[in-house]
């Protein structure tokens, strides 16, 4: 038999997180730090008490408030021939004193109408009413300061209360208690599950419920909704598994998955939507395990560590839902023009001379570029963040930054929020209590982890960042942030269960605001971790991808899923990160990188094209030139995304929701609204591509090859790539603004824009134009 010690030894020797994800968890507690929490295991624990939503005890339709009766149950083991299962059995409490508690508590239900498309549903498991939204970091300031809510007309009967808007209805059934969502035509989109939905011979899943743990009397909730035949679920953050989450068990707890090849996530987001026309934002910071038909094919089971249910429900198309969701949690800000240019990096440049030489080589090889990034090696000791350039290798950092700026380069620097005992700031952080603490006031882990719930910590941190900005640094890499201790005690008096997932959001916010304060209108970070609301502090990149086809596939899936979760801007390391990229994979990754909102070459050296080969340098240059010529298109589309909560790297289903085939595609994307990109995911010169049917704006079902101008009909097509190793197609009827080639974005001639028309059978051509300094987007047409 394998001992536990031997098993852990094997795990520690593993090079990736893949093996870790196979270990079973116990009551949601992960054995290793890189593992997400599985909250579903708590809901089959026979030591817990179960409360099942049974009936609506009372309700005031005018106020949208009432009481739900929760019937008390226990789980009893049950044998049936070759099956040992469990059965929910009604329970009479033995609590003492019995007069002090309710066997079947009646607890608050509140329904609030945020807009004609958005409803908020809150249900409590205790009499304690939570604090208002004022201090919630997930909510956008505009949402927190709202003065009025929408009004949905209601109809009250003996069976139900029905609220209706032009876009859908919410029905609250009295008994059995149900929440029923319908579209504008009355079709049921989904509904909550009651214990009566189980048949008489077997219980395959528990219904809408919450638990009281036998271990400590803490509570957790489990909303359960119908999952219909043919239903598809999308979102949940930067997930690297298949875009359609049906059949998956998705763990929404921030982890470091060591790349985009496993089911762990740097950037989980408790939000998803369905192809049936509704979406749900689980407003919680606690870990969630969302079981979308994995354990029972007809149910979405939302196992939440939280003790309250707070759901925002949205009605409409993917674009409608993303717009509504980002009205609540915030939209990505429009980013400065230079950020859309080429970022050149590796792990890592170690000196002033090296950074200046990289800049010189970029200009000498005529590769358009705007940013030089110094990764972990600009300090005195590699990886030891002290906010100061190494004095022996950076003789005059201010002069270096001025020279880079003169040559048209902005500068980005790496840092992280963890301080090892050998870091020179470690004693100060401990002495001043700027770190996350444990129950004794000590340290829950070996490193000092900055506590961003502490205003003094935020001020200390932002002063360090401001000092770099004032020297001439443009932006900062917001690395790590996934390891906030679950057992930590935070300055705001909250525990790690509720602060772990919020840590990336607070970290993103502190850094973004420090940069924005020093460079007004140019706030920008380069972050790895995120949670709901982090899109307000753009931008984020896909983490440490493997340098192979799987790494590229994982990055593409992650970027698409991230965009389906309310984030407009996203990037990835072209060629992968972990080892020197093989030329073939790097070459095929280039167009994917340059046709993303933000473009960075980064990873193990060499990343610089002139150190690989002359032909590769030409390929790199050609892709860079393509994006810089397309910069007017990129800039206008980015502005449009920032206003509507849309992603630049966009799943086809967002743009073509009426085309069933578009919902199936996860290895292609729309770059903005008019250019379709199909990367070569394997070695070769072509691939099968799905071309959606188009509608609106005078469009047709034809697509035009960006490189060759060849015209293709919608449907599945085998297409050969042009000189750029990628399939790039433009929607028929598109007007794409181009600029004369420039080597840096501040030299683009915005007065010489050419409107290139891509038209085959369309009756007209349309596009968007937005120039630096413009107040609004122009709709252009021919």
- Contacts with 526 (C-beta within 8 Å, 6 or more apart), sequence order: 373, 412, 475, 476, 477, 478, 539, 540, 541, 571, 600
Q: Is 583 a catalytic residue?
A: no
Burial of residue 77, with CB atoms counted within 10 A of its CB: 0-12 exposed, 13-18 middle, 19 or more buried: exposed
Rg (CA), the chain: 27
Q: Strands, DSSP E only, in 293-406?
A: 299-304, 308-315, 342-344, 371-374
Instruction: Name the residue among 341, 413, 345, 339 with its Cα closest to residue 607.
Output: 345
For the chain, first and last CA: distance in Å?
74
Burial of residue 98, with CB atoms counted within 10 A of its CB: 0-12 exposed, 13-18 middle, 19 or more buried: exposed
Structure tokens at 173: 């059934």
Check if the beta carbon of residue 621 is closer than 8 Å to that of residue 609: yes
Catalytic residue among 54, 104, 482, 573: 482
In the numeric block, the tokens 């980005």 are attached to 412
Check if the beta carbon of residue 379 is closer than 8 Å to that of residue 385: yes
DSSP labels for 719-744?
A: EE--SSSEEEEEETTEEEEE----SS
The Cα 239–Cα 248 span in angstroms is: 11
| 143 to 60, 114, 136, 138, 435: CA distances (angstroms) | 25, 9, 11, 10, 31
Check if the beta carbon of residue 733 is closer than 8 Å to that of residue 765: yes
In the numeric block, the tokens 């051509």 are attached to 765
The Cα 20–Cα 11 span in angstroms is: 7
Q: Residue 220 pairs with which residues in a beta bridge?
A: 211
Q: Cα torsion at 225, 227, 228, 234 (round to 10°)?
A: 120
Q: Residue 225 pairs with which residues in a beta bridge?
A: 192, 300
The Cα 637–Cα 338 span in angstroms is: 15
Q: How many CB atoms lie within 10 A of CB 145?
A: 10
Maximum CA extent, the chain? 83
* 406: Cα separation from own chain's centroid: 36
The Cα 324–Cα 279 span in angstroms is: 10
Q: How many CB atoms lie within 10 A of CB 126?
A: 14
Q: Is 482 a catalytic residue?
A: yes
Catalytic residue among 479, 655, 697, 705: 479
HSE, side-chain direction, 13 A CA sphere, residue 577? 19
Structure tokens at 624: 């860079």
Check if the beta carbon of residue 211 is closer than 8 Å to that of residue 49: yes
- Secondary structure tally for the chain: helices H, strands E: 14, 43
DSSP labels for 251-271?
A: EES----SSTTSS--SSEEEE
β-pairing, 726-731 with 675-679? antiparallel
User: What are the residue numbers of the active site?
Assistant: 479, 482
């Amino acid at each position: 038999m394998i001992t536990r010690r031997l098993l852990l030894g094997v795990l520690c020797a593993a090079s990736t997180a893949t093996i870790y994800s196979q270990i079973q968890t116990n009551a949601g507690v992960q054995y290793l730090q890189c593992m997400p929490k599985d909250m579903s295991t708590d809901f089959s624990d026979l030591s817990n008490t179960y409360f099942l939503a049974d009936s609506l005890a009372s309700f005031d339709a005018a106020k949208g408030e009432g009481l739900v009766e929760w019937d008390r149950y226990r789980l009893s083991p049950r044998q049936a021939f070759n099956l040992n299962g469990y059965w929910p059995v009604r329970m009479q409490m033995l609590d003492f004193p019995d007069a002090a508690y309710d066997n079947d508590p009646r607890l608050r239900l509140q329904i609030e109408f945020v807009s004609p498309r958005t409803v908020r549903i809150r249900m409590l498991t205790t009499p304690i009413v939570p604090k208002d939204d004022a201090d919630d970091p997930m909510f956008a300031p505009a949402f927190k300061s709202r003065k009025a809510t929408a009004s949905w007309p209601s109809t009250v009967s003996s069976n139900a209360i029905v609220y209706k808007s032009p876009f859908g209805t919410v029905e609250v059934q009295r008994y059995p208690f149900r929440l029923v969502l319908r579209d504008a035509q009355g079709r049921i989109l989904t509904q909550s599950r009651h214990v009566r939905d189980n048949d008489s011979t077997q219980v395959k899943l528990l219904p809408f419920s919450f638990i009281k743990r036998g271990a400590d009397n803490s509570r957790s909730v489990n909303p359960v909704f119908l999952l219909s035949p043919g239903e598809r679920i999308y979102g949940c953050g930067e997930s690297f598994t298949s875009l359609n989450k049906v059949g998956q068990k998705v763990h929404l707890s921030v982890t470091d998955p060591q790349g985009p090849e496993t089911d762990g996530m740097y950037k989980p987001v408790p939000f998803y939507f369905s192809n049936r026309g509704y979406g749900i934002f689980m407003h919680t910071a606690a870990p969630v395990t969302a079981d979308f038909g994995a354990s029972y094919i007809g149910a979405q089971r939302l196992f939440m560590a939280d003790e309250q249910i707070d759901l925002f429900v949205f009605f409409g198309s993917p674009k409608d839902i993303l717009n509504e969701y980002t009205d609540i949690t915030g939209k990505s800000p429009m980013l400065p023009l230079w950020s859309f240019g080429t970022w050149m990096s590796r792990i890592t440049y170690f000196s002033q001379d090296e950074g200046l030489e990289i800049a010189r080589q970029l200009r000498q090889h005529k590769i358009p570029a705007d940013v030089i990034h110094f990764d972990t090696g600009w300090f005195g000791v590699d990886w030891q963040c002290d906010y100061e350039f190494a004095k022996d290798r950076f003789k005059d950092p201010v002069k270096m930054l001025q020279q880079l700026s003169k040559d048209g380069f902005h500068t980005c620097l790496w840092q992280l929020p963890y301080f090892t005992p050998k870091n020179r700031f470690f004693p100060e952080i401990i002495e001043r209590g700027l770190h996350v603490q444990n129950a004794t006031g000590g340290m829950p882990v070996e490193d000092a982890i900055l506590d961003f719930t502490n205003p003094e910590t935020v001020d200390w941190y932002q002063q360090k960042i401001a000092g770099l900005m004032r020297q001439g640094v443009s932006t900062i890499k917001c690395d790590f942030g996934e390891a906030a201790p679950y057992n930590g005690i935070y300055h705001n008096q909250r525990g790690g269960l509720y602060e772990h997932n919020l840590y990336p959001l607070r970290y993103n916010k502190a850094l973004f605001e420090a940069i924005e304060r020093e460079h007004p209108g140019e706030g920008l970070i380069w972050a790895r971790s995120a949670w709901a609301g982090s899109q307000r502090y753009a931008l984020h990149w896909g983490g440490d991808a493997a340098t192979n086809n799987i790494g590229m596939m994982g990055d593409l899936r992650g970027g698409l899923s991230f965009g389906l979760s309310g984030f407009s801007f996203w990037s990835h390391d072209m060629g992968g990160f972990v080892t020197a990229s093989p030329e073939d994979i790097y070459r095929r990754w280039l167009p994917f990188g340059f046709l993303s909102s933000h473009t960075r070459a980064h990873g193990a050296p060499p990343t610089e094209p002139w150190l690989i080969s002359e032909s590769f340098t030409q390929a790199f240059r050609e892709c860079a030139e393509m994006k810089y010529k397309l910069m007017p298109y990129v800039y206008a589309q980015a502005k449009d995304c920032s206003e509507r909560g849309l992603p630049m790297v966009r799943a086809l289903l967002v743009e073509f929701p009426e085309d069933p085939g578009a919902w199936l595609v996860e290895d292609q994307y729309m770059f903005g609204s008019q250019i379709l990109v199909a990367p070569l995911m394997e070695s070769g010169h072509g691939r099968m591509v799905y071309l959606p049917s188009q509608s609106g704006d005078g469009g047709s079902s034809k697509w035009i090859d960006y490189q060759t101008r060849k015209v293709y009909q919608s449907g599945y097509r085998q297409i050969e790539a042009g000189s750029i190793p990628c399939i790039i197609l433009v929607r028929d009827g598109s007007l794409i603004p181009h600029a004369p080639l420039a080597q840096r974005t501040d030299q683009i001639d915005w007065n010489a824009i050419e409107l290139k028309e891509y038209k085959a059978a369309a009756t007209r051509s349309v596009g968007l134009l937005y120039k630096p300094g413009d107040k609004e987007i122009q709709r252009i047409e021919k």
